[in-house]
Amino acid sequence: MTPAQKPLELILTRQLASYLAMPLLIFDREVNLLFYNAPAEAILGRRFAETGEMRLADWAGMMPLYQEDGTPIPPEDRPLVAAMREGRPVHRRLRLVGLDGRSRRIESTSFPLEGQGGRHLGGVVIFWELDQP
Amino acid sequence: MAAPPIELILMRQLAGHLAMPIFVVDPEGNLLFYNEPAETLLGHRFDEAGPMPMAEWSTSFTQRDQDGSPLRPDDQPLVIAVRSHRPAHRTFWITGHDGVARHLGVTAFPLEGPEGRHLGAVAMFWGLDE
């Protein structure tokens, strides 16, 4: 993806994310992955420096999500996609398989980022690992 | 008065740029800041309200459950996020200082820093009847 100047709100979100201990992912308004922080790297099983920015289809293929019962969640029903489509937060318990091959139960909160003047900026996913070892 | 942690400074800065109503509290639940869109919902400017303890803000606005019964502070998402360090979500009715009842969705989540530091929590509000 071509680097472009990001909106200030996304820059601030990334800066904040880099200080937090909660796994946090940031997406742009087209749901392209822009960034995930170090705590997310530990769960996803790969450093952001290795994956870089990527499109939703690539991201969804690399990091599939499942209902708690193991049913796959299609890309269009991923919590953040639903949150951005509906313009409100979405909360869900689900399961992901990190790039380290380990399946984890997580609780996720996804919400759109809305800027002043009705600008749709992107969205954020924060998750908490359930059943931590 | 000690300077707030960098994470709370950044959170406040970010909230100041966003159009979603946002409420930020410290680890004890003391209100640190709410942004301009939240002022519209609460019917009160932050400059006028200022920082306030959890016991005050959690009872300052009339909050009612879906069935009209008063919402206890312990059931409010932001109070839950502060105390349990977990996200919490709810829909309810709030009547601000302007006397207008609004139907809202609230998402609250804790802010956790490195080395297990509990930094506070954030609540985001969403109008449900717009």
pLDDT of A44:
86
Kindly indicate the confidence band of residue B100, based on its pLDDT and cuts at 50, 70 and 90.
confident
User: Does the distance separating the beta carbons of A13 and B19 come in below 8 Å?
Assistant: no
**pLDDT tens for residues A72-81?**
999 899 999 9
Which pairs from B29-33 meet CB under 8 Å and 24+ separation? B29/B53, B29/B54, B29/B58, B29/B78, B29/B79, B29/B82, B29/B83, B29/B121, B30/B54, B31/B56, B31/B57, B32/B4, B32/B8, B32/B120
- Helix (H/G/I), strand (E/B), else coil: B4: coil
CA dist B122 and B23 (Å) reads 6
CA dist B104 and B90 (Å) reads 8
How does the average pLDDT of chain A come out, rounded? 91
pTM of the entire predicted model: 0.91
CA dist B4 and B83 (Å) reads 19
User: Does the distance separating the beta carbons of B112 and A88 come in below 8 Å?
Assistant: no
Most B CBs within 10 A among A11, A16, A41, hence the mutation to make, goes to A16
Contacts A–B by Cβ distance under 8 A? 71
pLDDT of A93:
95
Q: Which residues of B touch A114 (CB under 8 A)?
A: 18-20
User: Does the distance separating the beta carbons of A111 and B107 come in below 8 Å?
Assistant: yes
- φ, ψ for residue A62 (rounded to 5)? -80, -30
Instruction: Write down the H helix ranges in chain A.
Output: 8-19, 38-44, 48-51, 56-62, 79-86
| The pLDDT of residue B16 is above 60 | yes
**pLDDT tens for residues A56-91?**
888 888 889 999 999 999 989 999 999 999 999 999
Percent share of chain A, pLDDT over 90: 74
Cβ atoms within 10 Å of B39's Cβ, excluding its own: 18
Q: Which one-letter DSSP state was computed for residue B37?
A: H
- For the record, the structure tokens of A66 come out as 């499942």
Instruction: Write down the H helix ranges in A22-122.
Output: 38-44, 48-51, 56-62, 79-86
Q: Which of B47, B44, B23 is nearest to B35 (CA)?
A: B23
Q: Which residue has the tokens 């984890």?
A: A104
User: Does the distance separating the beta carbons of A13 and B87 come in below 8 Å?
Assistant: no
Residues 21-60 of A with CB under 8 A from B: 21-22
The shortest C-alpha distance from B63 to chain A (Å) reads 20
Kindly indicate the confidence band of residue B3, based on its pLDDT and cuts at 50, 70 and 90.
confident
Spell out the residues 6+ positions from residue A75 whose beta carbon is closer than 8 angstroms to its own. A56, A57, A60, A81
Name the residue among B13, B105, B111 with its Cβ closest to that of A20.
B111
pLDDT of B10:
96
| The pLDDT of residue B14 is above 60 | yes
| The pLDDT of residue B33 is above 80 | yes
Instruction: Give mean pLDDT, residues B29-35.
Output: 93
CB of A132 within 8 Å of any CB in chain B?
no
CB of A70 within 8 Å of any CB in chain B?
no
pLDDT of A91:
93
pLDDT of B108:
95
Between A54 and B57, residue with greater pLDDT: A54
- Helix (H/G/I), strand (E/B), else coil: A117: coil
Q: Which of B129, B127, B83, B80 is nearest to B108 (CA)?
A: B80
